[in-house]
């Protein structure tokens, strides 16, 4: 019987690539999304992957959505906490609303995604928790105090969950992508994109599929002894 994998923010960009890669690897995949119904419908039409709409920043909404997934597909074995937003502004101009929106989605959203299914993973003695952090959570970034704080916090979640879940057969790991050729990055002005690429030793943006391959590995039985780790996939832009 195939294992069940959930990818939050799994219908677009890096999340879509992860969902597709997990399906190709033999998982029963569910993808959650927050608001773009048209994109979700197109994704399901293209891939056959079921999509579920909920707000990861709200615990009750997440718990209800996760319960729907498990009712349809079975207990969730692999969870990829990928959903994230940006609300960029220099710190002196950042509003409390911009701060809280990003905290609620990118940091509290990881808690809201993993916490409801954690007891089931412990009971079944198996689980894979994979959190998509960011290079900017490792090095910081101008105009992203809120975003960098959440992505650094995600690494703390992973390191702690790894210790709590290890004896129950659960691993928790993070991936820190660098700049990836998603719709959002490709939409920035060409000169800005060129300045980003100039900072990357490999001389190019990453591809979403390169992050997805990291996820498939961490979800696999071959990665059992990798726990509490961070994979930096940034083309050599930043070393930890």
Catalytic residues: 147
Which two three-digit tokens encode residue 239? 């070393």
- What phi, psi does 15 have (nearest 5°)? -60, -40
Which two three-digit tokens encode residue 202? 């490999």
Closest CA to 70 of 105, 117, 106: 117
Q: What end-to-end distance do the CA atoms of the chain give, in Å?
A: 38
CA pair distance 29, 79, nearest whole angstrom? 10
Sheet holding 28-33, edge to edge: 50-53, 28-33, 4-7, 78-81, 127-132, 170-177, 230-233
CA pair distance 172, 126, nearest whole angstrom? 11
Q: Which residues contact 29 (CB under 8 A, 6 or more apart)?
A: 4, 5, 6, 7, 10, 19, 22, 23, 49, 50
């Amino acid at each position: 019987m195939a294992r069940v994998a959930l990818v939050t923010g799994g219908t677009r960009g890096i999340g879509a690539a992860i969902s597709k890669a997990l399906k190709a690897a033999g998982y029963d995949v569910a993808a959650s999304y927050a608001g773009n119904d048209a994109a979700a419908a197109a994704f399901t039409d293209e891939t056959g992957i079921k999509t579920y709409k909920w707000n990861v920043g709200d615990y009750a909404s997440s718990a209800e959505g996760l319960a729907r997934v498990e009712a349809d597909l079975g207990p969730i074995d692999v969870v990829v906490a990928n959903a994230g937003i940006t609300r960029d502004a220099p710190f002196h101009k950042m509003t409390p609303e911009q701060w809280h929106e990003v905290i609620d989605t990118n940091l509290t959203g990881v808690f809201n995604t993993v916490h409801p299914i954690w007891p089931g993973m412990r009971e079944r003695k198996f689980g894979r928790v994979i959190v998509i952090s960011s290079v900017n959570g490792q090095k910081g970034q101008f105009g992203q105090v809120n975003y960098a704080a959440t992505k650094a916090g995600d690494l703390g979640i992973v390191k702690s969950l790894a210790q709590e879940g290890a004896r129950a057969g659960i691993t928790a790991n993070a991936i820190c992508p660098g700049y990836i050729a998603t719709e959002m990055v490709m939409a920035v002005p060409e000169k800005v994109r060129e300045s980003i690429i100039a900072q990357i030793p490999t001389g190019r943006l990453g591809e979403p599929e390169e992050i997805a391959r990291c996820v498939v590995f961490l979800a696999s039985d071959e990665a059992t002894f990798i726990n509490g780790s961070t994979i930096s996939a940034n083309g050599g832009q930043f070393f930890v």
